[in-house]
Amino acid sequence: MPTGSLMRSEIYEQPTVIERLLSSQRPAATDLVQHLARRQISQVVIAARGTSDNAGRYAQYLLGGMNGLVVALATPSLFTLYRRPPRLAKALVLGISQSGRSPDIIAVLAEARRQGALTAVMTNETGSELAAQADVVLDLCAGEERAVAATKTYTAELAAIALLSAILSDEREMAEALGRLPQAVSEALQLEEASAEAAAQLREMRAAVVIGRGFNYSTAFELALKIKELTYTSTEAYSSADFRHGPLALVQPGFPVIGIAATGPLLPDMLALLEAVKERQADITWISDDPQPASVHGRALVVPRHVPEWLTPIPLIVPGQLLAFHLALARGYDVDAPRSITKITETY
């Protein structure tokens, strides 16, 4: 296996980063929970872009499903280009950004602060301009991320959201599950060889879909993004429900379908979709913590099951990161510096 890549090194740092975040950021997350309780806030508006936007999708399901909060993604252009921001005073406005430097995300938080809203930021740069707009800052604790494609900062964002949810719930089972997370990610890393073999089989693909639902809807979007930015392959993400509403027509013999299937209430739905695309002779790859997808189709990256469904987006993205990484290597691309994009993207 290659050892000189910055990206691969950062993928392998993820268990340590998550453990460091969980052990150090509990006071900040507890502070935020206390602010929410004092102000009786039940709505969250998340401002993010790119990979961080996919973390926001995870927060929609997790904070909504486990904590009863109404969670929406912000529309930054209303703040910057249209200059017609919505009313935010009764919401928590949460900025999620690795660098804390994107002007449109800063604008959302600055306007929220002007309106008197509670503001919080999850970032890897606690001295950033975005962090300066926050009442509470959660440090992602990822250390410098030098590869262009985000890996350790993404899973750190998910872990920060999971920590917040667990403290809000105040349930022992959730806290215990968080404690198992670094080991779950460590064992997911053991799928590198299998991920490389899957990448070799997908080397010639020029378009694909990634399908997930529920908590792993975010995983589908993040994996699709990684494949696009690292391998320049047209890759779209769908929920298994939305895929049936039209995009199923894309599937013809040999068309690549990548599914994210965690153990839980949605697994039967994902298995049914697997059967539907298999009937159309799709080229299927599954990432799961359950052996059932492998029993239906041979190419499956099965992560050992250590955590409940609500935490599976963290270990399940790891073989996806490795799949995208090895697909880029197989095509001879620079995995640390993909064409046309930079580490920090400033949008308005």
DSSP code at position 265: T
What's residue 291's pLDDT? 84
Whether residue 161 is found in the same domain as residue 276: no
Closest CA to 136 of 124, 110, 118: 118
Integer Cα distance of 304 and 289 in angstroms: 6
Whether residue 106 is found in the same domain as residue 89: yes
Whether residue 13 is found in the same domain as residue 72: yes
Domain stops at, among 153, 179, 205:
179
**Domain CATH number, residue 37:** 3.40.50.10490
Q: Which helix (H) or strand (E) holds 118?
A: strand 118-123
Integer Cα distance of 137 and 95 in angstroms: 10
**pLDDT averaged over 10-residue windows placed end to end, the chain, 348 residues:** 85 98 98 98 97 98 98 96 96 97 96 98 97 98 95 98 98 96 98 97 96 97 98 96 93 95 93 91 94 74 96 98 98 90 73
Whether residue 174 is found in the same domain as residue 192: no
Query: Which residues sit opposite 102 in a β-bridge?
Result: none
Q: How many structural domains does the chain have?
A: 2
Residue 78 lies in a domain: yes
Whether residue 18 is found in the same domain as residue 104: yes
pTM of structure: 0.96
Residue 338 lies in a domain: no
**C-beta atoms surrounding 216 within 10 Å:** 30
User: Looking at this protein, which amino acid is placed at residue 171?
Assistant: E
